[in-house]
Amino acid sequence: MSKLIFDPEIYCSAAEAAELDGTQPLTLTGNGLWVGVLSRGICLLEGLDRPGQSGDILLGAAPLTLTPQSDCHLLAVRMVGHCTESYLLQLGAVRWADGAACPGAAELIAQLHSARTASMAYALLCAVSKADETARPLPPLVAEAVAAIRQNYMALYGVEELSEQLGVTKSHLVRVFKQEIGVPPGRYLTNVRIEAVKALLLSDEYNLEMIAGLTGFSGANYLCRVFKREVGLSPAAWRAAAAPLPTVPKLPPRSQEMYV
């Protein structure tokens, strides 16, 4: 009897879990998306001005350094897989999201701490997918900057060009952008480019020179340096780790089966 093989963990799975309980800082590492729920206390996230408060949902890629400002409790899981990579590309910078926008997330994270199944991981990703829709609107300048970066990251020279397009000084744009998003626009641009690189690395159709040209890097060597610095792996190593399982060959029609 033949059996078709489908491994859902290729697309979404929970790779590990972490817990912060008390007042000691915690640094989350590893590839993929960290999703956490802060159930008690007030906690600072490095790079963000706004602290997380009880009920907030943590969303972002590592490294994430959490510093409690009071007695805190946070459960988090690290999500990996093709669906997670696509979500990260849309998410952009790390953030605290309103937990009221995804009320099922806390229970799913707690369940994933004890049994990390692919179905629960995918359910959590779906639960947090609309977390940003209820967030307060960005100021017009920041919203325009985010849209410009996401739409033109492959051709945007840098923050100087972006500020000229928006008709403001570079210093003003950096200050307002970091205040609202948590990272400066240059860092946000790099994050968007890296996630675009990851998406292209999932296909064997593109070599590194092609990927560099499609994502705004000056060449393959520069892309490799930035990618290794931001991700901790070379593009080749990341591609090998993220490669899907080999395709299962199709069985011949029953009319072509051989009997002995």
Domain boundary residue, one of 80, 102, 134: 134
Q: For the domain that residue 183 is a member of, what is the CATH number?
A: 1.10.10.60
Rounded to 5, what percent of the chain is helix, strand, coil?
Answer: 45, 20, 35
Instruction: For residues 26 and 112, state if they share a domain.
Output: yes
What are the tens digits of pLDDT across the range 51-106?
888 888 999 998 899 998 888 999 999 999 888 887 887 787 788 887 777 767 88
Instruction: For residues 197 and 232, state if they share a domain.
Output: yes
Tell me if 175 is assigned to some domain. Answer: yes
Tell me if 33 is assigned to some domain. Answer: yes
Instruction: For residues 15 and 115, state if they share a domain.
Output: yes
What are the tens digits of pLDDT across the range 201-211?
877 788 999 99
- CA torsion sign, 230 to 233 to 236 to 240? negative
- CA torsion sign, 247 to 252 to 254 to 258? negative
Tell me if 4 is assigned to some domain. Answer: no
**Beta strand spans in 94-154 (E):** 95-97
Q: For the domain that residue 96 is a member of, what is the CATH number?
A: 2.60.120.280
Give the range of the structural domain holding residue 228, as residue numbers without chain letter.
140-242
Number of domains in the chain: 2
Tell me if 249 is assigned to some domain. Answer: no
For the question of whether the overall pTM of this predicted structure is more than 0.95, the answer is no
Tell me if 123 is assigned to some domain. Answer: yes
